[in-house]
């Protein structure tokens, strides 16, 4: 299991690096093998890693597509990633890791958000397009991998567990009568 966390400001205002680090650290038990964060253009992604497919640094997340557009944080397993990798290689994509995460990033570069329809697996993915400045959250069809989110005032905050969201300074636990 891995853990993902993230923030997206619809108005493009800066995201606090300290906040995304804190949100990601709330998920330390989900991934003892590594931690990574990325931020830019009003968005931030965090990842706690449990290294399975490629334990080398090449598999670290968040991972950016080779064209520099997509930044991906991912929890789960794409069962058909090797078939998709071969199809992407046929389109000229180059791979440096043995991870399904890289297939997600390159698949987004090739096919855009439609790539999620091609996945067979259990997953929660956060993908940010730097070119379009939009955040996409996607889960497998059965919701096996958790993905919680909170949205208020043009701010989207999400994570593999609610405790990551609770680390965001604008989030308040309130009774909704």
The CATH class, in words, for 3-165 is: alpha beta
Residue 77 annotated to the active site: no
The residue-averaged pLDDT of 71-94 equals 97
- Residue 54 pLDDT > 80, yes or no? no
Higher-confidence residue of 114 and 52: namely: 114
Write out pLDDT tens, residues 21-48: 999 999 999 988 889 999 999 999 999 9
Higher-confidence residue of 23 and 57: namely: 23
Per the residue annotation, which of 2, 71, 84, 105 is the catalytic one? 2
- Residue 1 pLDDT > 90, yes or no? no
The residue-averaged pLDDT of 61-85 equals 97
How is the chain split into domains, by residue range?
3-165
**% of residues, the chain, pLDDT over 90:** 86
CA distance 129 to 124: 17
pLDDT, residue 146, reads: 95
pLDDT, residue 57, reads: 82
The residue-averaged pLDDT of 94-114 equals 96
**Beta-bridge partner residues of 129:** 70, 134
Cβ-count burial 114-149 (b if 16+ within 10 Å, e if not): ebbeebeebbbbbbbbbeeeebbebbbeeeebbbee
- Residue 64 pLDDT > 90, yes or no? yes
The highest-confidence range among 5-14, 48-57, 168-177, by mean pLDDT, is 5-14
CA distance 75 to 158: 13
């Amino acid at each position: 299991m891995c853990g993902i966390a993230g923030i997206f400001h619809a108005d493009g205002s800066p995201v606090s690096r300290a906040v995304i680090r804190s949100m990601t650290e709330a998920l330390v038990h989900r991934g003892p093998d590594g931690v990574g964060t990325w931020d830019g253009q009003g968005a931030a992604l965090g990842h706690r890693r449990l290294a399975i497919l490629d334990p080398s640094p090449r598999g670290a997340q968040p991972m950016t597509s080779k064209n520099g557009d997509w930044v991906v944080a991912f929890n789960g397993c794409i069962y058909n990633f090797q078939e998709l990798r071969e199809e992407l290689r046929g389109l000229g994509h180059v791979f440096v890791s043995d991870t399904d995460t890289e297939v997600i990033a390159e698949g987004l570069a090739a096919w855009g958000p439609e790539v999620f329809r091609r996945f067979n697996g259990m997953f929660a993915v956060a993908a940010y397009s730097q070119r379009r400045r939009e955040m996409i959250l996607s889960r497998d069809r059965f919701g096996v991998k958790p993905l919680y989110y909170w949205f208020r005032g043009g701010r989207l905050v999400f994570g593999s567990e609610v405790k990551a969201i609770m680390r965001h300074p604008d989030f308040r636990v309130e009774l909704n009568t």
